[in-house]
Amino acid sequence: MPDLRESLSLLRKNNDIREINDEFNTVLEISSLANYYQKNNGPALLFNKPQGFNNKVIIGLFGTQRRFESLMGRTINEISDDFTSLFETISSKPGILDGLKLFSKLKNFSINDVSSGPVKHSYGDITLDDIPILKNWPKDGGKFITAPVVITKDPETGTYNAGTYRMQVYDSETTGMHWQTQKTGAMHLLKAKKMHRNLDVAVAIGVHPSIMFSSISPLPEGIDEMAFAGYLSGQKVPVVHGDTVDLRYPAESEIVLEGYVDPEETKEEGPFGDHTGYYTPVDMYPVFHIKRIYHRENFIYHSILVGKYWNEDVPIGRAIERDVGGKMIIDATKKGMSEGIRREWPEKIEVDENEILKEKMKKYVL
């Protein structure tokens, strides 16, 4: 299956990525330039030398609809129409001909269990302090991992879930886990609590866009996100099994964090400059404890910037609106946002890229 690195090669071929060789700080500077580029329909940015770190940062991967569709290999409408047609066929009683068509479509709707993969190249040599995680907005509560694929398993049924939830970095081996009560990860944690046990968690960072999109999408209950990613990409997702967690995760991830969440433990998380254009307030959330970090050789850290319109969440959101399951949450999302505005978010996101980047900005004006 193609991985993140092949996606970057495609962007280079399409002249839709700019490589930054100057040193930019992971606190505000990288996100400020990315914010400017995204609001001006610019390319994705690959920072080759984040200040104080040895590994690259990619940001803006989903910054435009055209780029999103290029990386997915099909348009948003094609994804939606194809998947809708698939489920209509499944829900009906297909005849022989339709059954053969269904089999052809579903041949990659599964995973490829492998014994090892590139992500298993190294472990034990880095902590979170060695990963160029970003602080995106001036009044964020700290650095946040914003493009994680968080993998858990139902403690009762064994059913997998992969979702994207922001993770505030607390120290070199713990983060927050932004599991709102309605999220599947939170439901898994609640079941673990009833069983008086911790919940195993694996966090994959730097994956193929089809995996990232599957993780973000509100898929119907019971649909495996990795299998859906295989369906989207046309190739089964290779997965490896964790060594300190009873979970499988994408073998070609750039980074994987293996660890656990204690259902009895919470900690303050936030503020966070969110997709509403406001800072979400401080609240209590579960804590993720890292037991082991695996990574590829010369790993690339993937970050997503959300915030005031326009940012990466816009193309992703538009794709989800058309995706199967998306329609079911649009009304609820609008309701939640209107309630959030009535609650009055503590503070609106305001940032001046020119002030933060100062002399650097002159070189990179589009």
Which residues are designated catalytic?
Answer: 274
- What lies within 8 Å, CB to CB, of 301 at 6+ separation is 55, 56, 57, 58, 131, 132, 133, 205, 206, 254, 255
Task: Classify burial at 94, counting beta carbons within 10 Å of its beta carbon; exposed 0-12, middle 13-18, buried 19 or more.
Answer: middle
Amino acid present at 284: M
DSSP line for 217-237: S-PPTT--HHHHHHHHHTSPE
In the chain, what is the straight-line distance between the N-terminal and C-terminal CA atoms, in Å? 34
Q: Where are the alpha helices (DSSP H) in the chain?
A: 4-13, 29-39, 65-72, 76-91, 96-106, 184-194, 209-216, 225-233, 313-322, 326-343, 353-357, 359-364
